[in-house]
Chains A and B, each alone.
Chain A
Amino acid sequence: MTIAAPPPVVDAPDEAVHPNDEKVGASVHRVLSAVPTTVLWALVVLWTIPSFGLLVTSLRPGSEQFGSGWWTVVTNPSFTLENYQNALFDPPGGSVPFAEAFLNSFAIAIPGTVVPIAIACAAAYAFAWMDFRGRHWIFIGVLAMMAVPLQMSLIPLQQLYTGGAHLTLFGTTFILFPDLDLNNKPIAVWLAHTAFGLPLAIYLLHNYISSLPKDVFEAARIDGANHFGIFWRIVLPLAKPAIAAFAIFQFLWVWNDYLLALVFLSQNRDASPLTVQLVNLVTSRGQGTELLPAAAFISMIVPLIIFFSLQRYFVRGLLAGSVKG
């Protein structure tokens, strides 16, 4: 509703909006109209308390953490950065320092984001603007694969990584996929993420690229550009918003992933990312419990920075990509 100039009747400004409330005074109406805001902010406080509590706990010395709840800092303030320092560089019991796990997470999340984008951009352009046999059905296959649970791929992928894939036809063995022994290397995880990210990436980028105006392509053709030229100089620059939305979604998906890192990297502790290290700390019971809140925040800092600084793209990618398998 647009707010128009105040009506000339000074003593009953609300009548225009609520003709039925004539007897109700303006002050009562004002109180009532504040109800949604109050309820909403009460819920916001409720929603924020768990994270806020963890943040406060992460800054308290271990002895205090074990003895009393975080809310006691109001009467007994005592803060330290020691937990963060120990978690990052000197965790107890010889576990991997979180500073290293932090880099390991990047080492998986960067290729796990860049590679699928490169592959998907080309495919999305082909599906949107090239004519070839089976295009329709392959694209429906891509849509179907978006919802296929990744649990369906775990065992065969693990076998592919360790043994490769061979096809024996008429006495000759063809190597379809070389026996590279990729298990327990970061590449095992990000290759899997690349494959699982592709259906969504193609879907998102196809939606965007196919909606670009046809005139742009025809004009470029007349100017003598070929498909590769059009793709490189016109499609990629124009598709930047869609690429950014997917990139953020995929990066956070890979960064926050636990299952694939657990399955493909669990025998290699030195390469394991933050999520795996965090759960190790949760289940270790006893040693280093006081570092748990700090460690959790170290694992969340990158997603939170991305969330607060790039929220517009984040929302766009998340909404579009929420059906991912």
Chain B
Amino acid sequence: MGTLVTTVISVVVALGVIGGIFIAANLVVDRGSQRVEDRVRPWLFAGPAVLFMLFALIIPAIRTVVLSFSGGNRGEEGFTLDNWTSALGNDNVISFERIGDVVTSRLAIVALVLAVVGLVVARRGAAEEVAGEGAKGFDFGNPLASVALVAAVLAVLFAVFSTLRGVIWNNLWWVVVVAGFATALGLGLAVLADRSKNERIAKTLIFMPMAISLVGAAVIWKYIYDTPGSGQAEGLLNVVWPGPPIDFLRGTSSASSTGTIAPWNNFYIMVIMIWIQAGFAMVVLSAAIKGVPTELNEAARVDGANEAQVFWRVVLPQIVSTIVVVVTTLTITVLKIFDLVKATTGGAADTDVLANVVYNELRNGNFTASATFATMILLLVLPIMYVNIRRNRQEMFG
């Protein structure tokens, strides 16, 4: 109880002191001339925030970048590219070794089949639309064509990321899987909810995981993935799973010839994140779908469009910008994924991600290496940040 009382008192005192200085400074400025007032007052209001961000965000970010180009564990040795060359030259970080296997993998073949199906359907769709004049181009408004093509792209990405190994590939795999599946699931759930009874209760229950910590989620799913053994009961997934039990998180499995399902154990950690983020995607997309003017839907129905056509050709084009927001948001979140990996495998068994390396190197006292990996995350976030700022600027300043 002592900690809490001390905390409350210190917060009250701190706010009182800061507030007191703030009010007193404002009173002083009131007495000055109009010119002084116009110059000083804005900084009285914005100054504390600017100082805070300067000391805790801007200067540290610059220092971290500098540190990544400095020698020695603590950056005491001056400029060098060694951190970057040794990180990017490490097969555990990024490896192109098995790039040939991507083309021959089963997933690549599946992707090829799906792509052909998608293109054929799109071609026929285009042919039907301009019947008599000879088909031109492709029609991707058809649900089957677009689903097949999206699945083909996903299969290619899965083929790439499950074959090429290394922390960076793994982190990108996370982005693709979680952003892709959570958005798709969220969209599906939003559409379903839009046509269902008791929509609100259903949405609340699916959104609920968003409130709890990633660490808590990791504990919840431990009891789904557990293998039967000393000190633990068999997890629910292993009960319904055909064949011998699999340790879904660490990957050990007697069913596999190599004794492990790695790197596919990554996928089961990603499932936890999808479980959390699908609710987020659903809530955002559900709001967007409800924002589509009903006159549009009704006009399409009057013209004889069925439900699927209304969704693919009327609703979907209207919510594309919202889908982009959801995907970019999830991408930023997942690029920094740390808690889930730390609390499930700790980065062992081929599941390491960038943010976990940042933490481990920091704990090892190797600050320059840690800074290098942190800067890698920043570099990956940068393009998305740029797009976000441009969109916001347009909204705000025209």
Q: Is A208 an interface residue (CB 8 A)?
A: no
Q: How large is the interface on B (under 10, 10 to 19, 20 to 34, 35 or more residues)?
A: 35 or more
Q: Is A278 an interface residue (CB 8 A)?
A: yes
Question: Which positions 330-363 of chain B face chain A at CB distance < 8 Å?
Answer: 332-333, 335-336, 338-339, 342-343, 346, 355, 358-359, 362
Residue of A nearest to B211 (CB): A307
Cα distance A188–B176 when bound, in Å?
A: 35
Q: Which of B17-25, B93-101, B111-119, B130-138 contacts A (4 or more CB under 8 A)?
A: B17-25
Q: Is B389 an interface residue (CB 8 A)?
A: yes
Q: Which residues on B sit within 8 Å (CB–CB) of A69?
A: 233-236, 239
B45 close to A123 (CB less than 8 A): yes
Q: Mark B7-31, 1 if CB is under 8 A from A, else 0.
A: 1101100110011001100100010
Q: Is A234 an interface residue (CB 8 A)?
A: no
Q: Mark B194-205, 1 if CB is under 8 A from A, else 0.
A: 011110001011
A126 close to B22 (CB less than 8 A): no
Q: Is A191 an interface residue (CB 8 A)?
A: yes
> What secondary structure prevails in chain B residues at the interface with A?
helix
Q: What's the A-B contact tally at a CB cutoff of 8 Å?
A: 326
B339 close to A258 (CB less than 8 A): yes
A43 close to B192 (CB less than 8 A): yes
Q: Which residues on A sit within 8 Å (CB–CB) of B299?
A: none
A256 close to B214 (CB less than 8 A): yes
B378 close to A114 (CB less than 8 A): no
Q: Is B385 an interface residue (CB 8 A)?
A: yes
Partner of B64, one of A152, A300, A303, A315: A152
Given A126-B45, A227-B26, A258-B338: 17 more A-B contacts, CB < 8 Å: A1-B294, A65-B233, A107-B6, A111-B14, A115-B14, A122-B49, A143-B389, A149-B378, A152-B60, A155-B371, A156-B60, A194-B52, A198-B49, A279-B215, A314-B211, A323-B328, A323-B332
B residues lining the A interface (CB < 8 Å): 1, 3-4, 6-8, 10-11, 14-15, 18-19, 22-23, 26, 30, 38-39, 41-46, 48-50, 52-53, 55-61, 63-65, 67, 189, 191-193, 195-198, 202, 204-216, 218-224, 230-236, 239, 275, 279-280, 283-284, 287, 294, 298, 304, 306, 328-329, 332-333, 335-336, 338-339, 342-343, 346, 355, 358-359, 362, 367, 370-371, 373-375, 377-378, 381, 384-385, 388-389, 392-393, 397
